[in-house]
Every structure is written in C-alpha cells, then in structure tokens.
Amino acid sequence: MQAEIRAVMFCGGTGAATIASALSRESLVDLTLVINAYDDGLSTGRIRELIPGMLGPSDVRKNFSNLLRKGRNAQPFAADLLERRIEVGRDVSRESRDYVRDLESAIISMTDELTVRQSRQFVEWARVGIRSLSEASGSRGVSDFHDMAVGNVVFAGTFRCAGDDFNAAVDAWSQLFRPGSVIMNVTDGADLVLVGLTEDGRFLKDEASIVGMRDSGEPIVDVFLLNRTDAEAVHASYRPSVDADEIRRNLDLMRVVPSPNPSVLSAVGAADVIIYGPGTQHASLLPSYMTAGLGDAICRLEGAPKLFVANLDSDNDITNESVSSLLRKLERAFRVGSPDGVALPGLVTGVLSHLPSTGSRPWGIDVSDEFPSVPLVVGQWKTKTGRHNGDRVTRTVMTLTALGEGQFDTGRLTPVSIIVPVLDEARTLGSVLNDLLTQDWLGSGFLPEIVVVDGGSRDGSQEIAAQVPGVRLLALSAVRGRGEAIREGIGVCSGELLLTFPADGEYQAGSLLQMAEMLRANEGILVFGSRSTFCVDSDAQLRMIYAGVRRQYLVSKWGGVLLTLCSGLLYRRWVSDPLTSLKGMRRGVLERVSLRGDTLDWDLRLIIDAWRGQLAIAEIAVPYYPRTRAQGKKTRLRDGLRALRVALSSRWRVH
C-alpha cells in the first residue's frame, strides 16, 4: 500500500528509542520525532558553556544514532561514530603539543566507512567544532575533550557553520545522514535553561539536577524554562529556608515561553497520530509541551489518536508519581504555552500502560478513576531486556490509527471482526485485548474490528473493555451463555470475515491471523483452530497441554474422541477439536448456519450446520494453554455431555 500514517512522537534521547526505531522501520509510517535540547549535563553542559547560544546536542545525537542503527535507513557505522567517546591516551596523546591537529587527524581516521560526501562534510564540521571549543576553553589542552561524544563535537561545528542556528544544524544532519525519519527540535532554538522545584522548596538549578533525582523522597512539583542570566541569579540567591510558594511565584514571573519551530506545528497539523513517548518526564517531555501554541495545535487536530505511552517503571524523577499525576502535569505544561484553556481530553485520547508480570495494576495507575474520558490500554509492553517492545507498540499505534476516521486508505484492507464473549474475565481481559490489538493486522492486509460481548459480568470486565481504544463493547442485560453472546456480537459487527476468540487467555491471538488468511483465500468454509491436530502423537500432545492435571487430560481426551466420532460418523465432518473456542467464517455463509446453542452445544450445532449447508471445515493447528478451575475455568463436564446429547439427537431429527 502507498498510503502512509503520519506519526508525530514527542520523545527524549533514549526512553522511547525502541518505539522510534520500530516506527521508523514500518513502511506505512511517516515518522517525525520532536525533542527538546535543554540537556546540560557533563560534556554537553561543557559545550553549552563554551559556545554561547547553543542548546544541548545530546538528544539530537542519540536520536540520529538510534535511527541510523535500527531504523529503515540503517547505517550502523555512522551510528557508532556519532556515539564514540574521545579518549585521551587512545585518540590523542596527553603530551601532544598540537592536540587540535592530532584530534582532527584522529576523527578523520574514524570516517573510513562513511560515503565520500558524508566523510568530507563530517570532517569539515569536526574541524570547526574542535577549533571553536578549543579557542573558547582558552587552549587548556586535550583533557577538555576527554569523554566527549564525537557526535557532540561535530554538532558544535555544524551549529557554527549554520550561523549559530540550532534548527538549521539539525536539518543539516538530516540532509547528510538521511535517517529515514524526521528529527526536529520543538522550539525556534532559543537558548534557555531548564530548572525545577521540589515539593518542599528545593531548587533544582539545571536539567542535570532534575535527571539526577534519585530516591530523594521529594516529588518535583514543576519545571521552568528561564533565561540563562535569570537561572544563574536564582541559583546564586537561593536559600533553602525560603517558602516554596514564594520561590514558585518568583519562578513563574521569570518563566519564558519559547516560540515554536514552525516545522513542528506543520507536522502536528498534518498528523494522523500523536504519541507522547516514555522517558524522563520532567526533563525530556514536559519542557517540550511548554512551547507556545503547541497545545492549541494538538487540540485542533480532530479524529487522530493522541496516545500517552507510560513508562514501564517509575523512573528517577517520577518516583512518587502515578500515571494520573503525569497526565495532570502534561495538561498543565501545555497550558504554559497555550493558556486559553487546552484540556486533557483534547490532548490525550488514550493511555498505553504496562501490565506487570505480577499483580493486576500497573505502577501507580489510576487513570480510570480520575480521567474517565481517557481510555486505557493495559498490556505487556516490556521485552525480556526491560525496554519497551517497540514492534508491539507500533502495531497498536497503527491499528488504533486505522480504526479512526479515514487517516489513510483502508480500501485495500479486508475487514475482519473478532467477537470476544466475556463473563467475569477481568483477570485476563486487558492483556487479551492488548494481544488482539497488537497483531500485525495491517501488514497482513486486514482491518480489524474487535467486539467484546459481555454477558453480565460483575467483576469489572465491562469497565476494562470500555476503556480500550479501538474496542467496541456490547453489554447484555443479563448473564447469558457463550453461544448467545457470539450471536449478538455477529449481529452488530461489520467485517467480511468473522472470528471468535475467548477472553480467558488460553489461546494466542496470533492464531487468528492464520485463520483469517485461510478464510480470505477460500469461500464456503468454516475454519477451526485445533489444539491437537498436526502432531505425531495426539495423546502425548494432550498430556503435554494439560501438564499432569489428570482429570482435565482424561475429560479432554475421551470427551474429544466421542465428539469427533459423533461428528464424523453422523455428520461426515471429521473434526479433531470440535469444542475449540477459535472459529471463523465468512459473512456470506451466515445464511447457511443457524448459530443456535448456548455453551458447548453451540460448537456442535455449528458442525451440524456445516453438514446441512454443505460447508467444508478446515482446521489450523493453534497453541493452547489451559487454565484450571482455580484460575477461573468455567466449562463443566455437564456442558460437554449436553453437547454430546445435541450431536446424537439432532441427527435423527433431520428429514
């Protein structure tokens, strides 16, 4: 497909790196990363001191490095070069009499694998950066450069060559490296200093102090952008005994609202989705939102998802925060630059928050209580390495965007409806819906519609489903069986392909893609997801599935044998797993099936209808992870006996 999703993501240097690179790799996504450049820690702060008017290059460098390493236009050598640290003793001798010349030679030797054009421009910028920093430092020696990233030194040279225009320097890097996505500084490039204030009145004099908050027990109540001279004056006159409210009033009076980068406003105005990425909230994200007019531009953007991706864990600067408190701060930060009444519902339409491996609630989450208008998607966003699962977040973003109103051409996608019957499944429903949303539907050519049909839950299942963007909830008035829930769901859905999926977590959502492919390629069939087909030894397969739970193993084995015999002998449909909860059909076959039945008898009646309506049944092997009665399994032996009775009695009623 040629159409693109225009995504704008606010991020810092590394917190959203896996999401940024995954979005960049996706051919359907036209990605713009929006950062601020208030970093002033370590060597970055040294560069800002030596070159007046320059913002911090670190987050610019880190985002270019990330995209060049893992984005769609990967150039790993260039990424490694930008991140390489200058070391006295390796790159240049401490005793060097002309360390500037020697350092230039060292960087020239690092550029062998760049293209000729890249190498020439890179070396030119490096020379200007080295000489500018050396002259500004008073020629104290090579030690001034120790542990500086090569990319930071080169960006300093780019800044000087661009007429001390920070945004022009970023554009120059884009033209040289062409990372495949756009990186923009959020403001017009004004040289401002980020400071903070804790709840008990402690003044945080710079961005480095904010990032360095560790286990202090002092929540950060606000951050401010100040002119450098004002920031230095406040720091010089600060007394811990001064009342916190008085300090805050003074900082409010000095606060500077930076003008926006016009290119950022243009990107926001044309966006199909806005993403507030994870990261160091008080340093990397909230300051970006304080830009003049930015909140107004986002609120004017109608129909596009605006998704807040929560941190996986409570970071240094948010030890005492919750997702709700960060949403309040997000709203307040946008009001700094858009004081005429921007509100959270216009800024955020959904929250993606991590579901931990233990417990039922993410860290500090209380969004559903405080912000009922902001839907919550709770899922397993963490990889084994502890970072965000960028591919999973990307699939969710793409699906939620596609489910919006015409963000890109969906005419080439096959509509598929997934009916999820639910009765008291709050324990698993959130992660199941997350799994459904994060499948690669769009990449496989499908446009999903997820319909949750609640049969009268009393454990909060309805509330969970109602909070998930892209999910339609149909709440029935009383407790009803699975069969009736599926019938009601089919009655309201619109997909050409119809699939059923349980909310109990026993199946993998990825199996539905295989079933949908089978349905799309064949007419006049039903598709069953079989738990025991395509194996060398079905008995061994069942023993492995039930892992020593002998009663479940025996009931499943011999009950399945009886039902398979009945369906084969009586209805000439040899189905290895008649009671699977994964079933699919085309909308065109609805007139040939009755969809009668309540619980497990619904499954048997579908086989009977296939015989009557001359429909073939295709089986696809699917993984299965059964739960126990203690974990909430509801199916009883009597349900299986009822299904068997239906199979035996219905054959003789046919004339």
| Res 361 pLDDT > 50 | no
362 shares its domain with 418: no
Q: How far is CA 40 from CA 36, 37, 192, 211, in A?
A: 12, 9, 11, 10
Burial class (CB in 10 A: 0-12, 13-18, 19+), 249: exposed
507 shares its domain with 559: yes
Q: How far is CA 524 from CA 48, 303, 533, 606, 617, in A?
A: 69, 37, 22, 14, 9
In a domain, 497, yes or no: yes
In a domain, 187, yes or no: no
Q: What is the CATH number of the domain that holds 389?
A: 3.40.50
pLDDT in tens, 410-449: 667 899 999 999 998 988 898 899 899 989 898 888 999 9
| Res 125 pLDDT > 80 | yes
347 shares its domain with 234: no
Mean pLDDT, range 444-469, rounded to an integer = 89
Q: Which two tokens stand for residue 555?
A: 């009931």
DSSP assignment of 468-481 equals STTEEEEE-SS---
CA distance 43 to 58: 9
For residue 35, report the phi and psi dihedrals to the nearest 5 degrees: -125, 165
| Res 602 pLDDT > 90 | no
Q: Range with the lowest mean pLDDT among 57-66, 563-572, 632-641?
A: 632-641
Under the banding of pLDDT at 50, 70 and 90, the label for residue 201 is confident
What stretches of 348-425 show up as alpha helix (H) in DSSP? Answer: 367-370, 390-402
In the chain, helix, strand, coil percent, each to 5? 45, 15, 40
**Rounded mean pLDDT of the chain?**
85
Give the distance, in angstroms, between the CA of residue 119 and the centroid of all CA atoms in the same chain: 36
pLDDT of 128 reads 96
| Res 328 pLDDT > 60 | yes
| Res 407 pLDDT > 60 | no
pLDDT of 264 reads 98
Give the highest mean pLDDT range of 179-183, 241-245, 551-555: 179-183
In 3D space, the residue among 486, 427, 437, 432 whose CA is nearest the CA of residue 461 turns out to be 427
pTM score of the predicted model: 0.84
Q: Domain ends where: 411, 443, 462?
A: 411
30 shares its domain with 50: no
Mean pLDDT, range 218-229, rounded to an integer = 92
Determine contact, residues 541/622, Cβ cutoff 8 Å. Answer: no
Sort strands 220-226 and 193-198 into parallel, antiparallel or unpaired: antiparallel
> Could you give the strand order of the β-sheet that contains 5-10, starting from the edge strand earlier in sequence?
182-185, 29-35, 5-10, 273-276, 306-309, 350-354, 376-379
pLDDT of 1 reads 39
In a domain, 549, yes or no: yes
In a domain, 70, yes or no: yes
Counted domains in the chain: 4
Structural domain boundaries enclosing 138: 42-178
Q: Range with the lowest mean pLDDT among 40-49, 272-281, 494-503, 601-610?
A: 601-610
Mean pLDDT, range 31-48, rounded to an integer = 94
Q: Dihedral angle at the C-alpha atoms of 554, 557, 560, 562, nearest 10 degrees?
A: -80
Mean pLDDT, range 283-298, rounded to an integer = 97
Q: Range with the lowest mean pLDDT among 90-94, 546-550, 638-642?
A: 546-550
pLDDT in tens, 332-360: 999 999 988 899 989 998 888 876 544 44
Under the banding of pLDDT at 50, 70 and 90, the label for residue 364 is very low
Tally of CB atoms within 10 A around 629: 12
150-161 and 99-109 helices, crossing angle to 10°: 100
pLDDT of 347 reads 95
Mean pLDDT, range 187-200, rounded to an integer = 94
pLDDT of 266 reads 98
Under the banding of pLDDT at 50, 70 and 90, the label for residue 545 is low
99 shares its domain with 111: yes
128 shares its domain with 102: yes
Determine contact, residues 274/305, Cβ cutoff 8 Å. Answer: yes
Give the distance, in angstroms, between the CA of residue 182 and the centroid of all CA atoms in the same chain: 19
440 shares its domain with 493: yes
568 shares its domain with 440: yes
Determine contact, residues 289/260, Cβ cutoff 8 Å. Answer: no
CA distance 453 to 433: 13
In a domain, 183, yes or no: no
For residue 130, report the phi and psi dihedrals to the nearest 5 degrees: -65, -45
| Res 362 pLDDT > 70 | no
Determine contact, residues 474/454, Cβ cutoff 8 Å. Answer: yes
168 shares its domain with 211: no
418 shares its domain with 533: yes
Under the banding of pLDDT at 50, 70 and 90, the label for residue 145 is confident
Q: In 331-342, which positions are buried (b, 16+ CB within 10 angstroms) versus exposed (e)?
A: bebbbbbbeeeb
In 3D space, the residue among 460, 551, 533 whose CA is nearest the CA of residue 503 turns out to be 460
Under the banding of pLDDT at 50, 70 and 90, the label for residue 638 is low
pLDDT in tens, 84-117: 998 877 777 777 778 888 889 999 999 999 999 9
pLDDT of 576 reads 80
- Return the half-sphere exposure (C-beta side, CA atoms, 13 A cut-off) of residue 594: 14
Give the highest mean pLDDT range of 2-6, 312-316, 371-375: 312-316
Mean pLDDT, range 61-83, rounded to an integer = 96
CA distance 617 to 46: 70
Q: Range with the lowest mean pLDDT among 163-177, 258-272, 582-596?
A: 582-596
For residue 40, report the phi and psi dihedrals to the nearest 5 degrees: -145, 30
pLDDT of 479 reads 66
> Could you give the strand order of the β-sheet that contains 193-198, starting from the edge strand earlier in sequence?
203-204, 193-198, 220-226
Determine contact, residues 435/468, Cβ cutoff 8 Å. Answer: no
Q: Domain ends where: 366, 386, 411?
A: 411
The tokens 């449909």 sit on which residue?
573
Q: Domain ends where: 365, 386, 411?
A: 411
Give the distance, in angstroms, between the CA of residue 453 and the centroid of all CA atoms in the same chain: 26
402 shares its domain with 421: no
In a domain, 240, yes or no: yes
pLDDT of 244 reads 78
Q: What is the CATH number of the domain that holds 460?
A: 3.90.550.10
Q: Which two tokens stand for residue 159?
A: 């800044």
302 shares its domain with 222: no
Under the banding of pLDDT at 50, 70 and 90, the label for residue 548 is low
Tally of CB atoms within 10 A around 290: 27
In a domain, 348, yes or no: yes
Under the banding of pLDDT at 50, 70 and 90, the label for residue 141 is low
| Res 588 pLDDT > 80 | yes
Q: Range with the lowest mean pLDDT among 147-151, 371-375, 453-457, 548-552?
A: 548-552
The residue among 48 and 1 whose pLDDT is bigger is 48
